[in-house]
Structure 1
Amino acid sequence: MFISSVHAETDTATLLQFIRENPLGMLITGIESSLDFLQCTHVPCVLDLPQEAGQSFPNGRLRAHIAKQNPQVKGMIEALDNKPNVMQLDKDVLVVFNGKHDHYVTPKYYVETKPDSGKVVPTWNYSAVQVYGKLSLYYDSKTPEAGAFLAQQIHDLSQHTETSIMGYTGGDRPQPWKVSDAPEKYIELMQRNIVGIEIRIEKIQGKFKMSQEMRPGDREGVEKGFARLGGETGQAISALVRGRGKIHDAKKQTA
């Protein structure tokens, strides 16, 4: 991902929080096998912060699970040529997380530059975080290591998505769904058909491309344009343009 300095977000805490709020990642691998070299799977991830993940994961870790029948898993197994309880890929994998809101930006929003010179073109506003890391695969749920990993992963993922994503916290809100609400034998069957994914984070990068590089009048035009557009996306991007613009201006003043 190309990250220009004006769009770069370098605060690790902000990037990790972005993942917590946008847990659906795209797991991308390049593996030499009889299958396609490049594989990608959309997978919701649990993020363990550095202080939660222990000394083996100084930058934190991602946890997930995907189907055993997934070609990406088959490529991993073929490349490793064995099926141990836990196996590790030699090369880094890439996981990309996209923000909830993105949108086309029309040149009509550039109210300062467009009438002045006409030198404007369309663009697209979006936010994204990417993680590079080392992947470990927990293959056989019948083994103690893989069984424990998958049980914890499924519990933690459902707890996070039910409470943080759906807002099911009990009290005045609905109670969250729990793994224990499903029959135990059914969960065991499900676990036999998935593999656990653990990624030790080695590098994390992110960008918020929200018109912060534009002239003040143009930026204000984009903010107002999306506010007029309305809806959840329009209001969200309008607020992001305003917020990222303030961050950009503050950095320029301290530079």
Structure 2
Amino acid sequence: MYLRAVHAEAQIAVLQQLIRDNPLGILTTAIKSPLYPLIQSSHIPFVLDVPETTDGSLSNGVLRGHMAKQNPQAKALMEALAAQQEQGNASLELSDEVLVLFNGPHHHYVTPKFYTETKPATGKVVPTWNYAAAQAYGKIRVYCDSKSEETTTFLQKQIEELSNQSETSIMKYSSPWQVSDAPVSYVDLLKKNIIGIEITIDRLQGKFKMSQEMGQGDREGVIKGFEDLGTDVGKGIADMVKERGDLKDNK
């Protein structure tokens, strides 16, 4: 990701909130395999844990998710773990780094017509695209042995907390659906067909590309242009352009 200074977000807490608000991440791996593609990606909803640190600083956090065992990417992960364990390494953590990309709720094409200051003055404007995103890099742990208590415990915790997060934070239900509402035998069967993944975030980076590079007059034109679209996405972009522009001006 190109992190131009005017767009880059350096505050870890802000990027963590973007992840919490938009938990559907894109997991990308590059695992050498004789059977599966080198580079694979999957959309996976994540739970973000932020453990306390001994020095009181804010940790980057830990991402937890799960995938179907039939997913070719999951198969490549399991294959890599088996090969590692055959070499005498009992760790569940793979040596290769992985990437998880999270996108903000709104993105949109920006027409040069919105630049009401620069376009009529010089014409030196071109189209672009506004968006927000965070990228998390780290090592991945793979929980795939359905006979292991460690895997069973991880998956139970994962599906319960992910369901609760989605039911309360996304759906806003005061009486959320719970995993315990489904038959235990049914849930146990489903757990045998998924793997758990856990990524300790080593690097967390992100950006809010929301017209901060433009002058105030052009930003006002962008805000009005998106508001005039009369759509939820347009309003979302307009609000973010104003918020990010104000932050830039107040620095």
TM-based fold match above 0.5: yes
- 1:231 CA displacement: 1.7
TM value normalised by structure 1:
0.91
Aligned residue for 2:163? Answer: 158
Equivalence for 1:198: 198
Aligned match of 1:127: 132
Q: Is the 8 A contact 1:137 1:195 kept in 2?
A: yes
Q: Residue 81 in 1 paired to residue 86 in 2?
A: no
Q: CA RMSD in A?
A: 1.7
Question: What per-residue deviation string (whole Å, max 9, x for no partner) do you get for residues 25-79 of structure 1?
Answer: 0000001102110010100000001329xx9x95320000001111112112223
| 1:144 corresponds to 2:149 | yes
Match of 2:117 in 1: 112
Aligned length: 243
Aligned to 2:52, the other structure's residue is in SS state helix
Gaps of 5+ in 2: none
Deviation at 1:86, TM superposition (A): 6.1
The 4+ residue runs of structure 1 with deviation greater than 3 A are 80-86
2:24 aligned partner? 24
In structure 1, distance between residues paired with 2:178 and 2:164: 7
Q: Contact 2:78 / 2:142 at 8 angstroms: preserved in 1?
A: no
Distance 1:210 1:129 in 2: 14
Pairwise CA distance, 1:141: 2.6
Partner of 1:92: 97
| Letter in structure 2 aligned against 1:73 | A
Q: Percent identity?
A: 55
Contact 1:107/1:122, CA 8 A, preserved across alignment: yes
Indicate the residue corresponding to 1:185 in structure 2.
185
Distance (whole Å) between structure 1 residues aligned to residue 23 and residue 71 of structure 2: 20
Distance 2:66 2:98 in 1: 15
Structure 1's unaligned 5+ residue stretches are 170-174
**TM-score under structure 2 normalisation?**
0.93
User: Does the CA contact (< 8 Å) of 2:110 and 2:130 recur in 1?
Assistant: yes
CA contact (8 A) 1:96 1:128 kept: yes
